[in-house]
Amino acid sequence: KQLQQADKRGIPICVIIGAEEAALQKCGLKNMKTGEQVKIGLTDLADEVKKQLG
């Protein structure tokens, strides 16, 4: 439901952090336009968001 709301609001990228990701110090990054989702380390999050937003 939260991803649907983000899509309706035109948010280009969503960061997904669940219990499993948090334990591994990772997160999911979903491009709302393409639907592509990647898992990355939390330390790489800012750089990856900048890269995807171009």
Tokens 């649907």 correspond to 4
User: Where in the chain are the domains?
Assistant: 2-53
pTM of the model: 0.83
Q: Specify the CATH class of 2-53 in words.
A: alpha beta
Q: What is the CA radius of gyration of the chain?
A: 11
Q: What are the pLDDT digits (tens) for 6-33?
A: 999 999 999 999 999 999 999 999 999 9
CA distance 22 to 18: 6
Instruction: Name residue 39's beta-bridge partners.
Output: 28
Cα–Cα separations (whole angstroms), residue 4 to 8, 9, 35: 6, 9, 12
